[in-house]
Amino acid sequence: MKNIILMGPPGAGKGTQATDLVDRYKIPHISTGDMFREAIANKTELGLKAQAIIERGDLVPDDVTVALVKDRLSQPDCANGYLLDGFPRTIPQAEALEEIGKQIGRPVNLVINIEVPQDILLDRIAGRRVCPQCGASYHVRNMPPHKEGVCDRCGHELIQRKDDNAESFKIRLENYDKSTAPLIGFYKELGLLKSYDGTGGKARLQKELFETLDNL
Ligand code: AMP
């Protein structure tokens, strides 16, 4: 069973790896960031609540985020596995997820932690372009699309995220250190954590992840 969490600081490569993993293993990609951005684009109640918080780089409150994920994980397409990207981000979210996993009979069985030193992250974030349609990520210099400004995967126009600026990034990194990094110890204790070097290029990390997941 592939009930997986993808963890790592902003810019670690979670989104980049996630698109290839879900294509290969045919499991849903559950990115809370993508869900919030979609809600913002559609101007839903959730979107209006989350917009300012996200744009400045802060975390959406746990109760809102947990309810969203509980609902999503309960959908029938998660019965044969799922890939959580960007959730959990706090200890209370991780505790809630343990409960939800038990309740719905879909407990997490692997936590992938992508490690990248902080001095590399800002450059990755500053040059990042994303596809608002399918969630694929690119970098203007290190990982450009075949046609400038257009998604290789689905042909949609690429955008720069509003929170991919130096000011919001600093807050996101502080929130990562304070609230998310403690999850590494949490999942180590549960025996679920596997850490990977995220600095060796997309292909190398992908190969290592495929090797692990093919046997999961
Ligand atoms: P991401 O696309 O994962 O970088 O998420 C973008 C933004 O959405 C984050 O900076 C947060 O503001 C918000 N967000 C996404 N996931 C969570 C979460 N699990 N808990 C709280 N806020 C979140």
Per-10-residue mean pLDDT of the chain, 216 residues long, equals 97 94 96 95 95 96 97 96 98 98 96 95 94 92 96 96 94 97 98 97 96 95
Pairing of strands 137-139, 128-130: antiparallel
- Find the DSSP H helices in 62-106: 62-73, 91-104
Q: Which of 153, 158, 159, 161 has its CA nearest to residue 125?
A: 161
Amino acid 135: pLDDT: 87
Is 188 considered catalytic here? no
Whole-number Å distance between alpha carbons of 49 and 39: 10
For residue 138, what are its two tokens?
Answer: 């690119």
Q: What is the distance between the alpha carbons of residues 126 and 154, in angstroms, rounded to a whole number? A: 23
- Work out which ligand 1 atom sits closest to the CA atom of 69: 19
Name the closest-CA residue to atom 19, ligand 1.
Answer: 87
Helix 91-104 crosses helix 62-73 at what angle (to 10 degrees)?
Answer: 30
Instruction: Collect all residues with Cβ–Cβ distance below 8 Å to 143 and sequence separation of at least 6.
Output: 16, 137, 202
Is 161 considered catalytic here?
yes
| Model pTM score | 0.94
> Interhelix angle for 45-56 vs 166-175, to 10°?
100
Q: Could you count the other beta carbons within 10 Å of the beta carbon of residue 21?
A: 21
- Rounded Cα gap, residues 182 and 192, in angstroms: 14
Say which of 37, 89, 106, 129 is annotated catalytic. 89
For residue 189, which amino acid is it? E
What atom of ligand 1 comes closest to residue 32's alpha carbon?
16
Annotated active-site residue 72? The verdict is no
As for ligand 1, residues whose beta carbon falls within 6 Å of it are 10, 32-33, 36, 53-54, 57-60, 65, 86-89, 93, 163, 172
**Counting every residue, how long is the chain?**
216
- The amino acid at residue 177 is D
Question: How many angstroms does the Cα of residue 6 sit away from the middle of ligand 1?
Answer: 13
Tokens (6 digits) for 204: 């190398």
- Listed in order, strand segments (DSSP E) in 148-202 are 193-197
For residue 30, list its beta bridge partners.
84
Q: CA 74 to CA 88: how far, in whole Å? A: 16
